[in-house]
């Protein structure tokens, strides 16, 4: 029997580079997988990248903007109406910034944009979906973050600062929910990730998006019931 059969899982950021591997792993493990994106075309592309596994009725693409409260609540209500429950959220939101300039050169518009995409999106997702997970036996909530949360890198401020905020958001959520049924964990990836987008220059030591998918699918399964309130760091793989 597949380890996540019958579980209803929501993967915001699932149409992104890392998200694709997460969606694939959860579908392979038998879950019902709902994936939002602001763009219908991205969901159609995701469906074609996933291949046969996405032809199942267990793949549920939803057009919507998870960083807007009204859209997030509409998506939550759609999932509850369709399936009557939610078992897990894996939030793989926010992306890299290629601005390559010092923090004093960053405009207010850029600052606001990256706070919204990389931090407020996580806040709205947690605010909207955690309350229904608290009612579900065996539920879990996993946030995906990057090394920039912990390592200051010059000229990457708009990734680092929201990422550090996201890590603290996770730790506050863990502290506030420690007596509830939902297991909350943060996975920080201290490696570049080999994805479809990076395949031409990926290195063998890089963690792949499928590795992250397999790890987070295990984390959401009953086999990981002892992993709760943890900040888990994944580093590059040995190459020999
Ligand atoms: N790629 C790497 O090498 C790497 C390495 C270490 C850690 N990570 C971490 O992995 C996570 C995902 O990164 P990624 O490379 O997969 O990024 P990505 O390809 O840019 O995907 C990011 C996802 O976030 C969503 N998103 C961004 N801004 C949003 C907004 N304002 N409102 C709603 N949704 C928004 C996008 O949704 P739409 O579908 O609507 O566009 C997209 O699906 C991040 O936490 C990152 O730090 C990545």
Q: Which atom of ligand 1 is nearest to the CA of 143?
A: 45
3-class secondary-structure state, position 223: helix
> If residue 63 lies in a helix (H) or strand (E), which one and from where to where?
strand 59-63
Q: Where do the DSSP E strands lie in 73-222? A: 88-91, 140-146, 183-190, 193-194, 207-208
Q: What is the pLDDT along the chain (240 residues), one digit of tens a residue?
A: 589 999 999 999 999 999 999 999 999 999 999 999 999 999 999 999 999 998 889 999 999 999 999 999 999 999 999 999 999 999 999 989 988 999 999 999 999 999 999 999 999 999 999 999 998 999 999 999 999 999 998 999 999 999 999 999 999 999 999 989 999 999 999 999 999 999 889 999 999 999 999 999 999 999 999 999 999 999 999 987
200 CB burial (10 A radius; 0-12, 13-18, 19+) = exposed
Rounded to the nearest angstrom, the distance between the alpha carbon of 228 and the centre of ligand 1 is 24
Q: How far apart are the first and last CA of the chain?
A: 34
**Structural domains present in the chain:** 8-235 (3.40.50.720)
- The protein residue whose alpha carbon is closest to atom 20 in ligand 1 is 95
3-state helix, strand, coil in the chain (%, to 5): 45, 20, 35
pLDDT of residue 170: 98
Which pair of structure tokens corresponds to residue 230? 């943890």
pLDDT of residue 1: 54
Rounded to the nearest angstrom, the distance between the alpha carbon of 83 and the centre of ligand 1 is 26
Which pair of structure tokens corresponds to residue 192? 């570049």
């Amino acid at each position: 029997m597949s380890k996540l059969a019958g579980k209803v899982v929501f993967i915001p950021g699932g149409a992104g580079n890392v998200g694709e591997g997460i969606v694939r792993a959860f579908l392979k493990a038998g879950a019902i997988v709902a994936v939002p994106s602001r763009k219908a075309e991205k969901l159609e592309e995701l469906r074609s990248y996933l291949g046969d596994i996405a032809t199942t009725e267990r793949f549920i693409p939803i057009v919507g903007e998870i960083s807007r409260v009204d859209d997030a609540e509409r998506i939550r209500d759609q999932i509850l109406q369709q399936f009557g429950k939610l078992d897990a959220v894996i939030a793989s939101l926010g992306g890299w910034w290629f601005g390559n300039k010092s923090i004093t050169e960053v405009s207010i518009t850029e600052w606001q944009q990256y706070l919204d995409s990389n931090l407020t999106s996580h806040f709205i997702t947690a605010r909207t979906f955690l309350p229904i997970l608290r009612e579900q036996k065996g539920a879990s909530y996993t946030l995906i973050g990057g090394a920039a949360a912990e390592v200051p890198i010059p000229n990457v401020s708009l990734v680092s600062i929201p990422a550090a905020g996201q890590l603290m958001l996770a730790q506050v959520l863990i502290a506030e929910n420690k007596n509830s049924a939902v297991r909350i964990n943060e996975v920080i990836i201290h490696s570049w990730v080999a994805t479809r987008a990076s395949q031409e220059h990926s290195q063998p030591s890089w963690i792949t998006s499928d590795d992250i998918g397999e790890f987070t699918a295990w984390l959401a399964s009953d086999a990981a019931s002892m992993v709760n309130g943890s900040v888990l760091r994944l580093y590059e793989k040995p190459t020999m």
